[in-house]
Amino acid sequence: MNTSSLTQNIATAGRTYYDGPELLDGLLASITAAGLDPAHLEIDDLAPLDEFHALGRPATLALARVAGVTADARVLDVGAGIGGPARFLARRYGARVTALDATPRFCRVAEELTRRTGLADRVDVVQGDALALPFDDAVFDLAWTQAVGQNVADKGRFVEEMRRVVVPGGRVAMFEIVAGPGGPLVYPVPWADTSEQSSLGTAEELQGPLEAEGLVFGSLNRGQAVLESIVAAAAEVTPSPAAQTLGLELLMPDYEARMAGLARNVAERRTELWRAVATRPLT
């Protein structure tokens, strides 16, 4: 598998959670300290930890709804992290999910947590490059990403690869943070320490490649419309009392500073939310 392109892109991301020591032993210790049985885990207990993208589980649920995830759908989660959304799609909808990430230590955690949640028969973990997906053409019903675009400079190739691996009539679903009208980012943010480490693009820089690949939009929203749908989804997400001590600080160095930077960028409209679902034509 060619993992060089995206790995090279994210390897420059300073002290973010893309680089660093192994995670599994520390995460299992924290899971045990939270009163959970690390050998028999539930995905809802892990949600605050393993859905480390903007707005967490509610954003995953909202994207799944507009993407039309169904039982036995073949889903590719590109930039899957430690596998939380992939496990949610498998458990909630009965999808068959391939969780791809370029970071080896994330993949090792994803495999182990998938096994411990009893989902190894429905979720496959693959280490690979989003810009050179290690799959044949037209093998998935849905290609899915969440908060990956800010790490990928070549957004045209990113979209091209997702379109390539979905079947005719299949869909590409994306939920991303994009550049807003409020000016340049203030750093640090969760994915970067400086502008040289960030590939945050505009909504148009993601929409354009989807259109260029001939994909037809079934849903396209940004800003407040995306946020409102996520707030609505959040009303159906019940926090797990056992997971109150499990959060992104276990994965993200300088957690408070990075989240404060993100909050400022959101408040000053330097970033906004963007979501799209587009279909590959049958011909």
Residue 149: HSE in the Cβ half-sphere, 13 Å Cα cutoff: 30
Looking at this protein, which amino acid is placed at residue 198?
S
Residue 1 pLDDT > 60, yes or no?
no
What number is the average pLDDT over the span 265-275? 97
CATH number at residue 73: 3.40.50.150
Number of domains the chain is built from: 1
- Give residue 42's pLDDT: 95
pLDDT-derived band at 54, boundaries 50, 70, 90: confident
- Give residue 8's pLDDT: 38
The span from the CA of 12 to the CA of 16, in Å, is: 9
- Give residue 6's pLDDT: 40
**117-139 pLDDT, tens digit each:** 999 999 999 999 999 999 999 99
Phi, psi at residue 260, to the nearest 5°? -65, -40
Check whether the bond before 239 is cis (ω within 30° of 0): no
Task: Give the residue from 175, 195, 212 showing the smallest Cα distance to 261.
Answer: 195
Phi, psi at residue 126, to the nearest 5°? -130, 130
pTM metric for this prediction: 0.92
* 67, containing H or E segment: helix 56-67
Looking at this protein, which amino acid is placed at residue 165?
V
The span from the CA of 175 to the CA of 216, in Å, is: 16
- Give residue 224's pLDDT: 95
**58-86 pLDDT, tens digit each:** 999 999 999 999 999 999 999 999 999 99
What number is the average pLDDT over the span 211-230? 96
The span from the CA of 70 to the CA of 185, in Å, is: 37
Looking at this protein, which amino acid is placed at residue 264?
R
**158-212 pLDDT, tens digit each:** 999 999 999 999 999 999 999 999 999 999 999 999 999 999 999 999 999 999 9
Residue 87 pLDDT > 60, yes or no?
yes
Structural domain of residue 196, as residue ranges? 4-279
- Give residue 33's pLDDT: 93
The span from the CA of 243 to the CA of 249, in Å, is: 13
- Reduce the DSSP state of residue 20 to 3 states and report it: coil
What number is the average pLDDT over the span 2-18? 42
pLDDT-derived band at 91, boundaries 50, 70, 90: very high
pLDDT-derived band at 239, boundaries 50, 70, 90: confident
CA distances from 181 to 101, 156, 223, 261 (A): 30, 22, 11, 17
Q: At what angle do helices 84-93 and 43-50 cross, to 10 degrees?
A: 150
The span from the CA of 159 to the CA of 176, in Å, is: 13
pLDDT-derived band at 2, boundaries 50, 70, 90: very low
**Complete DSSP assignment for 162-226:** HHHHEEEEEEEEEEEEEE-TT-SPPS-BTTBSSGGG-----HHHHHHHHHHTT-EEEEEEETHHH
Residue 9 pLDDT > 90, yes or no?
no
pLDDT-derived band at 16, boundaries 50, 70, 90: low
